[in-house]
Amino acid sequence: MTGTLRQWWWAGLIMAAVVAAWGCEHSPWRWEQRDKVSYLRGPYNYDFWNRHNESYRFGSTIHFAHGIQHDILETTPLAEHVKWDEWTNGRYVDKSYDKMRLEPHMMYWGPYVFQGAWKLYWSIDWTHMHHEQTYDVLSSPQIAWPDKDPWTVRSVGYYLEMSEWARSPAPLDLTMRRAGTMMKPYFTYFRNYYPKSSNYFFVAHWWHPVIYEAMMIAGNDDEQSVSVQQAQNLLPVALEDRPLRMLLSREMMPRYSRMSPASANIFDNLHMLHGIAYDILAYEGWTMDQKRAELYRVLKAMSYQEGDEQYVRTFPLPHPEMDPRVYYEWMKPVEGSMNEIMFTMLQEMWPMMSPDGSGELPPEVVDQFWKKMTPGLQEGEVEGSLHDAIMAVAPNIKMMPEASEPGVPAQKMIDAMVEAWTSRLPEIPEVEPYPMAEDPVLPPLEKPADGVIAPLDPNDVQQAKRGWCLTW
Amino acid sequence: MNATMARMLGCAVLIAGLIGIGDMAQAADHKNLEENLPLTVEDAYPIGYLGREFQLITRYERGEKGEDRYLVEPVLEFGFPRNGELSISGPFLWGEGEPDGCDDVTLEQLYLLNQETRVLPAFAVIGKVHAPTGPESEGVDWTLKMAATKTLSRSWYLHQLHANFAWTFNEKERPGERDGFYEAVLGYSARINNETMFLADFVRDEDIERGIESNIFEAGVRYMLTPYAVLSGGVGFGVGDDSPDIRATLGIQISLFGKYAMWRPAPRKD
């Protein structure tokens, strides 16, 4: 080979290597575009911050907690989980009383995972933007009560159209099946090893929907501030006696879920994404690059896909008349909509896993399932993931090898679960739209036998801020 | 009306127009470093697509000969295209040593080339066109700039390194002027708390006049005042005979929101 040819050959080889490195999705040298989008303008922008500032600040505190939790899990050893769980829970509870003034983006408090898996943060921040939009629309005195729905529809459209990482408006029943995470080696790590922090986020996911629902039962007038304050005042109660499961929109905001089922499902999908991301980051069996592959697989599986609109209203309402200003007993135990979805999914997967092909879950598998769903480590619980626990009590189960691989879907199981759910669609009544023609009258707050309410001092009601300028 | 008065009037109209738009405010981002808010360094990241922001930069500088100079510069920014940022600015100068009046109006486009990873920084290219609206300007000058940003460390402590390099082409150089000159900046930013970022940088640049180079160390903070307003303040000290003695900058960014959004829902069928 002549000297010139040799030079061209080496140049071509180097260029090919560079292009391959940049093009490879899991290369540390990958070349990706950010595609960040600013949020939708409307006359309601920042009305939640303006009108319900204390609640806005607690939302900011939650988002601080969400951000920093990523980096804590990725940069600290699992062996020190007790210490770090105490540390994060302590900080989150302190900040819940001395609230963050303004809302941070995820990377502000989680810069390490930002570098490793920025699309996760972009999806979370984008969906937090939708939280802001929908709170603002409901809070805005400028938007008449009957117009709340069309303005919310506009926000949903913008959210779904402007980013490929938008969460699906289909219910969690479908998106969790698409994600196919239950038999992955990381599933339930966060709630089992970091129960205090996990339960803090269960409080956060109680708080988010009750604030929407408090506005729904009060309408546009000054009753809205009273209602929101009555719900907000339950925060110390909820922090002291926390829910032990992720509460879903269908349970916590039945009226808002009827008005905007797409938003309700989007938020459930986001809240579940948080838990799955924390499970993946807590797991020590994979590198950051492998974790990114799995995170992006789950992101994609639970993202908006064409045709998802047809499923938007397909979920039950277990407590259609609940009062968001009451902290009910049914909000607290492990048993509830979320874990029932996952139990059904396990039942759907079992025929493909069981050694004899039977559809009946053995009692020891059921026992380990409910222990895994319970925060912390219970007596008799097998350590590790749900998959580890099932393998320990049913060692002859059939597993697909891809089920334990990062970034690879267990497609047969996913297909089986999705088919099982879609075959039951005729049995699931669609939620009816919520009547928004008349501004509601806030009902008096009464303490039920199965719940707690918080006293309200009229002086405590959050006062709307005057002017746009300086608020502390 | 002579040329100076025309320039000053044009400048005043531009400033008034930009301030008027600032009546509509929305979310700003204090971790997104902007040039001269308050330091020279900027990061590689644009505002979000379709974002709109108004900025006001005010600066005092004591020059190398002890002269006092003042600057007020409004800037309007728009997130366009995706991963890009378009802006227009019109500085107004007064003080000793330089003619008073509107300096060159500048149109700028920033484009983010990539999202940073654990290994790769984020890179951006920036092009600027300087219209000769300044009292001593001739010809349309233009600047080509590169910006890079890298988040450091394996922890939840946020700190970043930034590097900028700009070359300005002086289209119609006058006697004693360079036909091109550079500005190089190395900067650092770190989170202090939820609302506050600390910044520091070192600026090395050539003046348009031959034989003059300056070195400045700067430090400052960016503070989220409200969800849609960022306040920034910084000071700089020069090193070397040709460097300004001191520089102090105060700035505000206000993101523009949708008070006057045109969309309305379809009429209700009551």
pLDDT one-digit tens code per residue, A217-270 = 999 999 999 999 999 999 999 999 999 999 999 999 999 999 999 999 999 999
What is the model's pLDDT at position B134?
A: 82
Q: Model pTM greater than 0.90?
A: yes
Domain boundaries, chain B: 3-255
Q: Report A:15-44 residues touching B (Cβ under 8 A).
A: 28-43
What is the model's pLDDT at position B20?
A: 43
Tell me if B226 and A469 make a contact (CB, 8 A cut-off).
yes
Of B83, B261, B268, the CB nearest to A41: B261
Alpha carbon of B89: minimum distance to chain A alpha carbons (Å):
21
Of B151, B194, B259, the CB nearest to A114: B151
Of B50, B156, B224, the CB nearest to A75: B156
Alpha carbon of B149: minimum distance to chain A alpha carbons (Å):
12
Residue of chain B whose alpha carbon sits nearest to that of A146:
B268
Q: Please, are residues B69 and B61 in contact by the beta-carbon 8 Å criterion?
A: yes
Size of interface A-B (CB pairs under 8 A): 140
Candidates A41, A50, A145: best to mutate against B (most CBs of B within 10 A) is A41
Chain A residue numbers touching B257 (CB-CB < 8 A):
41-42, 45-46
Residue of chain B whose alpha carbon sits nearest to that of A154:
B265
Q: What separation in angstroms does the CA of A192 have from each of A79, A133, A376, B212?
A: 13, 34, 4, 65
What is the model's pLDDT at position B10?
A: 52
Q: Could you tell me the two tokens for A195?
A: 């129960």
Phi, psi of A413 (to 5 degrees): -65, -40
Alpha carbon of B163: minimum distance to chain A alpha carbons (Å):
18
Chain B residue numbers touching A40 (CB-CB < 8 A):
258
Per-residue pLDDT of chain A (472 residues; tens, 9 = 90+): 566 777 777 777 766 666 655 556 666 677 889 899 998 999 999 999 999 999 999 999 999 999 999 999 999 999 999 999 999 999 999 999 988 999 999 999 999 999 999 999 999 999 999 999 999 999 999 999 999 999 999 999 999 999 999 999 999 999 999 999 999 999 999 999 999 999 999 999 999 999 999 999 999 999 999 999 999 999 999 999 999 999 999 999 999 999 999 999 999 999 999 999 999 999 999 999 999 999 999 999 999 999 999 999 999 999 999 999 999 999 999 999 999 999 999 999 999 999 888 889 999 999 999 999 999 999 999 999 999 999 999 989 988 888 889 999 999 999 999 999 999 999 999 999 999 999 999 999 999 999 999 978 767 666 554 333 333 3
Q: Please, are residues A194 and A88 in contact by the beta-carbon 8 Å criterion?
A: yes
Residue of chain A whose alpha carbon sits nearest to that of B53:
A38
Contacts of residue B114, Cβ cutoff 8 Å, sequence gap at least 6: A31, A32, A33, A34, B120, B122, B123
Tell me if B263 and A154 make a contact (CB, 8 A cut-off).
yes
Q: Looking up tokens 């117009």, which residue turns up?
A: A147
Give the HSE-up count for residue B237: Cα atoms under 13 Å, Cβ half-sphere.
1
Tell me if A108 and B158 make a contact (CB, 8 A cut-off).
yes
What is the model's pLDDT at position A135?
A: 98
Alpha carbon of B31: minimum distance to chain A alpha carbons (Å):
8
Tell me if B224 and A71 make a contact (CB, 8 A cut-off).
no
Tell me if B226 and A471 make a contact (CB, 8 A cut-off).
yes
Q: Please, are residues A67 and A107 in contact by the beta-carbon 8 Å criterion?
A: yes
Contacts of residue A339, Cβ cutoff 8 Å, sequence gap at least 6: A245, A370, A373
Residue numbers in chain B where pLDDT is lower than 50: 1-6, 16, 18-26
Exposure string (b/e) for A315-326, b if CB count within 10 Å is 16 or more? bebeeeebbbbb
Exposure string (b/e) for A71-99, b if CB count within 10 Å is 16 or more? bbbbbbeeeebeebbeebbebbbebbeeb
Residue in A344, A377, A336 with CA at minimum distance from that of residue A247:
A336
Of B153, B257, B268, the CB nearest to A45: B257
Beta bridge partners of B238: B216
Alpha carbon of B60: minimum distance to chain A alpha carbons (Å):
25
What is the model's pLDDT at position A7?
A: 73
Chain A residue numbers touching B224 (CB-CB < 8 A):
101-102
Tell me if B156 and A104 make a contact (CB, 8 A cut-off).
no
Tell me if A108 and B154 make a contact (CB, 8 A cut-off).
no
| A470 touches B at CB < 8 Å | yes
Candidates B21, B52, B161, B257: best to mutate against A (most CBs of A within 10 A) is B257
Tell me if A42 and B258 make a contact (CB, 8 A cut-off).
yes
ipTM: 0.89
Q: Report A:64-123 residues touching B (Cβ under 8 A).
A: 64, 68, 71-72, 75, 100-105, 107-112, 114-116, 118
Chain B residue numbers touching A470 (CB-CB < 8 A):
225-226
Which CATH number among 3.40.50.300, 2.60.40.1180, 3.60.70.12, 2.40.160.40 corresponds to the domain B3-255?
2.40.160.40
Residue of chain B whose alpha carbon sits nearest to that of A114:
B117
Tell me if B158 and A111 make a contact (CB, 8 A cut-off).
yes
Residue in A400, A385, A186, A183 with CA at minimum distance from that of residue A291:
A186
Residue in A272, A208, A263, A273 with CA at minimum distance from that of residue A431:
A263
- Single-letter residue type at A115: Q
Of B156, B263, B265, the CB nearest to A112: B156
- Single-letter residue type at A416: A
Chain A residue numbers touching B79 (CB-CB < 8 A):
38
